[in-house]
Amino acid sequence: MFDLIATPLQAVIALATGYLLGSIPFGLLLTRAAGFGDVRSIGSGNIGATNVLRTGNKKLAALTLLLDALKGTAAVVLARYIAPDAALFAGLGAFLGHLYPAWLGFKGGKGVATYLGVLIALWWPGALIFAVFWLGTAFLTRISSLSALVAAVAVPASIFIAGHPKIGTLLVFMSLIVFIKHRPNIGRILSGTETRIGSKG
């Protein structure tokens, strides 16, 4: 579907554009604008939708999730105007920008929503697969982090099965980073102390 062969300049432009879009900290900006202060001071200290939900404002959390996903989608779509084969670089840039935004000391979110947004633009059936596994696991466990980890395993496997190895390779790399960013969560899942969806703790 996509070719990784792009000129060095095209790759750099796509990666940088994706990074700039991905590094917009919507969770932080929205909670401040809504009068909740710095979302990093509550819950897990994360700027993502799950931690925004701990403010008790479901609409704000949903908007954060949507915008964090859309910045990944937008990065990929815009990159196609640079060069069709630059989309993978832009998607990676958006994902890394959300995880490591320069304006927040390279301390961002865990990337799940942006991962999903990139996936929507690269291969939309994968986003449906992600949603099925995430929702199914969340329904059974009410643990957002576990739901994301299960989906992050299912998605690359499905992409390879569908015959898109280049996208699959990118998603394997992104999934590995998702697991690395969730190491504290994995520890809490194993110990039975991970925070449940809807909890303000």
* Domain spans of the chain, in order of start: 8-101+109-191
8-43 per-position pLDDT tens digit: 889 899 999 999 999 999 999 999 999 988 999 887
Per-residue pLDDT reduced to its tens digit, 85-115: 899 999 999 999 999 999 999 999 999 999 9
pLDDT band for position 149 (cuts 50, 70, 90): very high
The percent of residues above 90 in pLDDT, for the chain, comes to: 77
| Contact call for residues 88 and 18 (beta carbons, < 8 A) | no
CA 188 to chain centre: 21
Q: Which amino acid is at 124?
A: W
Residue type, 29: L
- 65-89 average pLDDT score: 93
CB 51, CB 35: distance < 8 Å: no
Give the Cα separation of 36 and 51 in Å (integer). 12
Least confident of 36-45, 64-73, 147-156: 36-45
Helix (H, G, I), strand (E, B) or coil at 149: helix
| pLDDT score recorded for residue 5 | 60
Residue 122, pLDDT > 70, answer: yes
Helix then strand then coil, % of the chain, to nearest 5: 75, 0, 25
Q: Give the per-residue pLDDT at 32.
A: 94
Q: How far is CA 158 from CA 17, 58, 118, 120, 181, in A?
A: 28, 31, 16, 14, 22
Query: Counting Cβ atoms within 10 Å, is residue 139 exposed (0-12), middle (13-18) or buried (19+)?
Result: exposed
Please give the pLDDT value at position 2. Answer: 53
What is the structure's pLDDT at 125?
97
Burial zone of 96 (CB within 10 Å; 0-12 exposed, 13-18 middle, 19+ buried)? buried
**Model confidence band, residue 150 (pLDDT cutoffs 50, 70, 90):** very high
